[in-house]
């Protein structure tokens, strides 16, 4: 960046706060309605219809059916820059155990990640921006399906998202449990990890549990393999880099006195850097096969690359942080916020366009993907105010001025 240029006047935050406070309860009720009716990835038909109805009511150009259930609402205010803001809509295959009055009515399906909140936040911002927003340019609000599968963002992009709705930058946010309520975290560079999966079948020779000498025991081979897999990170990855290998599922055998013929392992691998990701992809299959062979067994490895790490762009992240500081003050902006090893398919959008992924503290809540999780409604209005402020400032040209 060169010398700082005079900054455009910052919009009066009080007009935004008072307006959103005036209809905040409406969006809490909407969030809880979505929570009560969760829908799995690519099945978000009711949620999508709700989004379409609200956006059309407020005067947006609405395009539905992108990636099946995805929606884009467009608001044009003359010539200028273009901005994309994304919210995810899908739920998880989890049986809710919160006991809340608005708990899921769909057995085995739950909003356990806060996508109901993300959708409500963006809708609240959408209403204000349509009714009272002060900006010049084009705003695209992207309501994405199937984040939990890691498939929705890429499918929207493959179906021409950014060709049909050009964006000079794109932003998204995620609530984060056990971070102070309403605290904002901005991370430049790697912010969330790449995710890959592997299914390993260890094949041996089954037999009677009382005669192990007649078998090739895949259970013992698998037990040693699980331990050996931990050395991939401990002894192959630079200690200054991040890598995670977790075996989350083991299945083999039915009876205590029968040695099965095979055991299935399922694991996840996480990383920030491409070279670490490539190392894990090489070493995990090689180690699995060698370890199985050392017990006379064989290992078949189905390695499934997932999606890349979320890499926030430096200039856009600096802008997102500046908006947070001006909106909430330094007391609510976490300067020490660290990258997360969870994964997010917003990574594909950041590969296609400059932008940043921001974190909002959910307070003292159960963890994401827990059957006890619930989105904190107290952060809905502040997060909506943040989107309004970011949109108005970006589309005023302020972000461009800050980057020069």
Longest dimension (CA), the chain: 82
Q: Calculate what percentage of the chain has a pLDDT beyond 70.
A: 96
> For 7-21, 212-226, 296-310, 332-346, which range has the lowest pLDDT when averaged over its residues?
7-21
Phi, psi of 204 (to 5 degrees): -130, -140
Q: Closest Cα to residue 183, out of 317, 332, 377?
A: 332
Q: 330-368 burial string, b = 16+ CB within 10 Å, else e?
A: eebbbeebebbbebbbbbbbbebbbbbbbbbbbbebbeb
* pLDDT of 191 over the 50 cut: yes
Q: In 294-397, which ranges are continuous DSSP H helix?
A: 314-328, 346-352, 380-394
> Span 72-87, mean pLDDT?
97
Q: What are residue 28's phi and psi, to 5 degrees?
A: -65, -45
Q: For 185-190, what is the mean pLDDT?
A: 97
pLDDT at site 227: 97
Q: What is the mean pLDDT of residues 241-264?
A: 97
Give the residue-averaged pLDDT of 290-302: 98
Is the per-residue pLDDT at 378 higher than 80? yes
CA distances from 270 to 14, 192, 244, 310, 351 (A): 42, 9, 5, 12, 18
Please provide the DSSP assignment of 302-318 as one string: EEEEEE--EEE-HHHHH
Which run of H or E residues covers position 207?
A: strand 207-208
Residue 397 — very low, low, confident or very high, per pLDDT cuts 50/70/90? confident
Per-chain mean pLDDT for the chain: 95
More confident residue, 345 or 401: 345
CA–CA distance, 168 with 81 (Å, rounded to integer): 7
Asked if residue 1 has pLDDT above 80, the reply is: no
Confidence (pLDDT) at 280: 98
């Amino acid at each position: 960046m060169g010398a700082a240029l005079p900054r455009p006047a910052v919009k009066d935050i009080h007009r935004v706060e008072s307006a959103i406070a005036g209809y905040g309860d409406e969006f809490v009720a909407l969030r809880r309605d979505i929570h009560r009716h969760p829908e799995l990835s690519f099945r978000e038909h009711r949620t999508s219809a709700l989004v379409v109805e609200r956006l059309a009511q407020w005067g947006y150009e609405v395009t539905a059916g992108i990636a099946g259930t995805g929606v884009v609402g467009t608001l044009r205010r003359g010539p200028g820059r273009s901005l994309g803001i994304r919210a995810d809509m899908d739920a998880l295959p989890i049986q809710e155990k919160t006991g809340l009055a608005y708990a899921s009515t769909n057995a085995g399906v739950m909003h356990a990640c806060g996508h109901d909140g993300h959708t409500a936040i963006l809708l609240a911002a959408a209403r204000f921006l349509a009714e009272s927003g002060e900006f010049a340019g084009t705003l695209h609000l992207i309501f994405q399906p199937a984040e939990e599968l890691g498939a929705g963002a890429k499918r929207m992009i493959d179906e021409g998202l950014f060709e049909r709705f050009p964006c000079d930058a794109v932003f998204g946010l995620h609530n984060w449990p056990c971070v102070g309520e309403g605290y904002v975290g901005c991370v430049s560079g790697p912010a969330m990890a790449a995710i890959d999966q592997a299914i390993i079948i260890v094949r041996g020779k089954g037999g009677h549990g009382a005669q192990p000498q007649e078998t090739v025991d895949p259970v013992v081979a698998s037990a040693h393999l699980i331990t050996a897999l931990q050395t991939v990170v401990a002894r192959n990855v630079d200690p200054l880099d991040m890598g995670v290998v977790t075996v989350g599922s083991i299945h083999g055998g039915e009876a205590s006195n029968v040695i099965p013929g095979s055991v299935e392992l399922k694991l996840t691998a996480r990383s920030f850097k491409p070279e670490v990701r490539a190392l894990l992809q090489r070493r995990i299959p090689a180690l699995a096969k060698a370890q199985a062979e050392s017990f006379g067994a064989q290992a078949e490895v189905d390695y499934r690359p997932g999606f890349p790490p979320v890499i926030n762009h430096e200039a856009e992240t600096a802008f997102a942080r500046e908006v947070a500081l001006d909106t909430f003050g330094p007391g609510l902006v976490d300067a020490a916020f660290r990258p997360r090893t969870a994964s997010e398919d917003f990574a594909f959008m950041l590969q296609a366009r400059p932008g940043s992924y921001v974190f909002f503290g959910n307070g003292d809540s159960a963890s994401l993907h827990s059957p006890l999780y619930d989105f904190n409604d107290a952060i809905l209005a502040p997060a909506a105010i943040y989107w309004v402020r970011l949109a108005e400032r970006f589309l005023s040209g302020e972000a461009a001025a800050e980057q020069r």
